[in-house]
Every structure is written in structure tokens, then in C-alpha cells.
A = this chain, B = another copy of it.
Amino acid sequence: MPSPRKKKTTPTKTSLPRVRRTAEEARQRILDAAEARLRNGGPEAIRLQEIAADVGISHPTILHHFESRDGLTRALGLRITERLVADLVDALSSKQPTETSAEEIIEHVFTTMGDSGTARLIAWRALSFDSAEEARALLDSVTSLLHARRVQHANDTGVEPPSRQDSAFVARLASAAALGDSLSGDIWTAGSPENDQTNARFRRWFAHLLMEHLDKAGC
């Protein structure tokens, strides 16, 4: 036997059929599966072997593409943040300030956070590792967009434009409330049959509260 390893070219064991994807395609599929696991099972559900099973590959393939488990979680966190911010930027810039009301946008933020479990992902990120650096620039772009809208609207209607800090605080409050409420919202409405109704009412109530401020300080 010239083989330095024991035996193990056993032809009885049929190898899994190999599907060769591009590196990018493989990365995306792995991230998708990891994200699904995180949503359903919480922070401790990111297991290389399980994720690999979901995708239908072996776990060393994940390590090949992401270096380590840490590399995977880092890439996942970045993708989540980027997608969320892109979604927001899209909502903020798609229509003219007068067309899309602030209420719609707030509703949009809450929906995105809640429906897709994004809040869970963000919270996990905040818990697990220092996520400040990359996210900062992204959030800044959201603030800038919001501020630009408000300034333009103020100019159009001839009222005093708001300060940039006020815009930053509006964005910060909206995101914090959406994040916090998505995490703890179930607690407030648990047991009552009209959960969704109450949740929706709360969001409208909050949007109304915020718009009163915007009306005063410039929408």
C-alpha cells in the first residue's frame, strides 16, 4: 500500500454529487442559510454543520469561503446592515418629500424591522461583536437624506428649516423605537387576540406623535 493514509478510497461509499458554483453564488447561498437559522433559532443556532446541511454542502466548504466561523458571522452582519440601509435609502429617495408622508416612512421602518426579523438580526449583531465602525457611515447617509428632504420641504413651504441635529435625532428615535419595539413588542400584546391591530395602532400613534414634532420643526 503506497497510501500514507490508512485506506479510505472505499468505492462502496458513494460520494455526494458535487455541484460546483461560482464563489459568489456559494457565498450567497451560505449566507442565506445562516440568516434563516439566525432568525428562527437565535444567536446560538449558527452551526457550521447545520448550515452546510441546509445548503446541501459539507461544512469545510463554508470555511473555505469565509475563513472561519467568525468570518461568516461578520459577513452576515454586514450584509444585514447594508440591506436594511439600502431599503431605507430607497424609501426616502424614491418619492418627492411631499408625496411620501413621514407616516408612510415610519410605517415602512417598523414593517421592515418587524416582518422580516431584521430586528432580531440587528440585536444579535449588537450583542455579539463591535459593529459600530461599518454601520456608522451607512446610518449617516440615512440622516443626510432625511435632512435634505426636510430642508427642501421647508424651503418649498417657506418655513424655517430644521437643524441637522434635529434630523439626526428623528432618525435615531425612529430606528431605536422600531428596533426596541420589534424585540419587545410581543410582550406588550401577548395574550390578546387583536395583536396585529394593537401593533398597527401603536405604530400609527407613534407616527402621529413624530409628525406633530415635524410639523413644528419642519417636515
Contacts and interface: CB of A to CB of B under 8 A. Distances in A.
Interface of A: 42-44, 120, 122-124, 126-129, 131-133, 135-136, 139, 165-166, 168-169, 172-173, 175-181, 183-188, 190-191, 201-202, 205-206, 209-210, 212-213
Contacts of A128: 42-44
Nearest to A202: B169
Contact of A126 (B123, B178, B210): B123
Q: Tell me the number of copies of this protein.
A: 2
A206 B127 contact: no
A205 B191 CA distance: 34
B123 A188 contact: no
Contacts of A131: 187
Given A178-B180, A180-B183, A190 B126 contact: no
B180 A139 contact: no
Contacts of A135: 187
Contacts of A212: 212-213
Contacts of A188: 136, 139, 168, 172
Contacts of A42: 43, 127-129
A56 B172 CA distance: 43
A136 B191 CA distance: 9
A122 to B, nearest CB: 7
Given A123-B123, A212-B213, A184 B177 contact: no
Contacts of A166: 205
A211 to B, nearest CB: 11
A132 B43 contact: no
A117 to B, nearest CB: 10
A212 to B, nearest CB: 7
Contacts of A120: 126-127
Residue among A128, A139, A176 with max Cβ neighbours from chain B (10 Å):
A176
B179 A172 contact: no
Contact of A132 (B122, B181, B187): B187
A173 B201 CA distance: 12
Contact of A181 (B176, B205, B206, B209): B176
